[in-house]
């Protein structure tokens, strides 16, 4: 797979010299006072500006199966197509926690990664469908399968697929990915529990993929913003990791 690191853009600022030395001394002193005053105002303004990005808080909140979630800073705005308040995100519980407990029970030694931060509207439906392959549940013509979908392999580790639904759209988390995304370029977006993560756009959805000791993991998303899927993926942790 090819991976392309996205470079941050830098804005060049041109500063024109102030040709002041031809002015009388009194004029030069007055101009110096004005420049100092403007500089002070600029420094104070930068120090008090409030960003709208998502920041980790100093405190942690408990998450499913002993993992630790990063809590959104209440002073920042949540991003995404439908999520508008940081209070609408939190540590997964309910049906989501039960789905990953089932996944862990059927893992047969496979390390299971789980989300630690999701919109509170997120649930794990009773039935699974291949979110990474088709656009919607109605477009899936395959057999009815319970969620999570655990594909056991004799003499090897299983592939586990967990489907999640939120007000934003759908997520599919795949543990021990089988197959290949093909020859497409991705963007390095950071690390997941110390493992390099890459973002792709494939089959009409976002995909974040990483490897842990030779085992591949992925999060697929339909209907989500790129910012939100980045946050969900980068906050994934192995079950039991604190």
| Dist CA 147 CA 193 (whole Å) | 25
pLDDT digits (tens, 9 = 90+) for 66-108: 443 444 443 333 333 444 355 689 999 999 999 999 999 999 9
Average the pLDDT over 125-145 and give the result: 92
pLDDT in tens, 193-221: 999 999 999 878 999 999 999 999 999 99
More confident residue, 162 or 50: 162
| 43 confidence band (pLDDT: 50, 70, 90) | very low
Residue-level pLDDT at 53: 23
Q: Is the model's pLDDT at 59 over the cut of 50?
A: no
Both tokens of residue 50?
């409030």
pLDDT of the residue at 155: 79
Q: Rounded CA gap, 94 and 64, in Å? A: 9
């Amino acid at each position: 797979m090819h991976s392309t690191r996205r470079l941050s853009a830098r804005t060049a600022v041109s500063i024109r010299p102030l040709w002041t030395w031809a002015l009388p001394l009194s004029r030069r002193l007055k101009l110096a006072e004005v420049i100092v005053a403007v500089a002070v105002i600029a420094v104070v303004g930068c120090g008090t500006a409030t960003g709208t990005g998502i920041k980790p808080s100093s405190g942690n909140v408990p998450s499913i199966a002993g993992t630790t979630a990063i809590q959104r800073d209440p002073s920042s705005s949540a991003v995404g197509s439908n999520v508008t308040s940081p209070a609408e995100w939190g540590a997964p519980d309910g049906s989501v926690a039960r789905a990953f407990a089932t996944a862990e029970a059927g893992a047969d030694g496979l390390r299971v990664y789980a989300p630690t931060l999701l919109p509170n509207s997120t649930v794990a439906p009773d039935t699974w469908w291949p979110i990474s392959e088709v656009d919607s549940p109605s477009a899936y013509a395959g057999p009815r399968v319970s969620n999570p979908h655990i594909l056991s392999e004799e003499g090897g580790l299983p592939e586990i697929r967990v489907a999640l639904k939120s007000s934003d759209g759908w997520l599919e988390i795949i543990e021990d990915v089988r197959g290949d995304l093909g020859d497409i370029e991705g963007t390095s977006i950071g690390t997941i529990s110390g493992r390099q993560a890459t973002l792709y756009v494939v089959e009409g959805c976002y995909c974040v993929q990483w490897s842990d000791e030779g085992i591949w993991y992925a999060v697929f998303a339909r209907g989500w913003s790129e910012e939100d899927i980045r946050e969900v993926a980068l906050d994934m942790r192995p079950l039991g990791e604190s």
